[in-house]
């Protein structure tokens, strides 16, 4: 049996045990309601209408408690999940990466990012011209090599010269020249 199958079987067994425990508790409650009503009739002289009304009220209460238990569980789980989400929020003021499906507020609705894999969060800033955009590395230098070759063989011969020029430009950049 695979580990997943074993885990699923254990989960099912736990759920079945919980269900049987709940049924046992409800049957004890029904028995106690009947006993209490009959005791009232025998010891206190309650009439048949009072006994039946007592039994009906008690049964209704037990049934209502059982019927509302899933709602109570769902509300409790929802509040717990919301609290966990709010207390485990991650700030991305300096940017970051979202690796899996993540919900976020989007105007009047809800947005979803990372649903197809990793996505980047990039902070925006205004440039000197006032336009909003992603800030890049400042002070970058552009190096352009123009190669004129008549065929592939002459381009391959110039490759060594280009590599040497690129190495010299990188070295000057490191020295701050």
pLDDT value at position 176? 66
Contact call for residues 95 and 123 (beta carbons, < 8 A)? yes
pLDDT surpasses 80 at 43: no
pLDDT value at position 165? 84
User: For the whole prediction, is pTM greater than 0.75?
Assistant: no
Q: What is the mean pLDDT of residues 15-39?
A: 77
pLDDT, tens only, 62-110: 777 777 777 777 777 777 777 776 666 777 888 888 888 888 888 888 8
User: Please, what's the b/e burial string for 59-74 (b: 16 or more CB within 10 A of its CB; e: otherwise)?
Assistant: eeebeeeeeeeeeeee
What is the spatial distance between Cα 143 and Cα 171, in angstroms, rounded to a whole number? 13
Q: What is the mean pLDDT of residues 120-140?
A: 78
Closest CA to 95 of 118, 124, 121, 126: 121
What is the spatial distance between Cα 33 and Cα 60, in angstroms, rounded to a whole number? 11
């Amino acid at each position: 049996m695979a580990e997943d199958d074993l885990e699923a079987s254990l989960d099912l067994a736990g759920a079945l045990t919980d269900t049987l425990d709940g049924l046992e508790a409800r049957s004890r409650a029904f028995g106690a309601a009947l006993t209490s009503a009959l005791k009232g009739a025998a010891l206190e002289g309650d009439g048949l209408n009072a006994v039946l009304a007592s039994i009906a009220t008690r049964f209704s209460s037990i049934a209502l408690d059982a019927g509302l238990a899933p709602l109570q569980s769902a509300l409790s789980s929802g509040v717990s999940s919301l609290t966990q989400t709010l207390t485990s929020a991650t700030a991305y003021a300096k940017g970051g990466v979202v690796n899996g499906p993540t919900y976020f507020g989007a105007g009047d609705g809800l947005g979803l990012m990372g649903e197809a894999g990793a996505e980047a969060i990039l902070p925006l800033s205004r440039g000197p011209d006032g336009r909003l955009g992603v800030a890049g590395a400042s002070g970058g230098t552009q190096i352009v090599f123009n190669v004129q070759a008549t065929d592939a063989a002459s381009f391959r011969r110039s490759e060594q010269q280009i590599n040497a020029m690129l190495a010299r430009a990188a070295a000057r950049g490191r020295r701050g020249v």
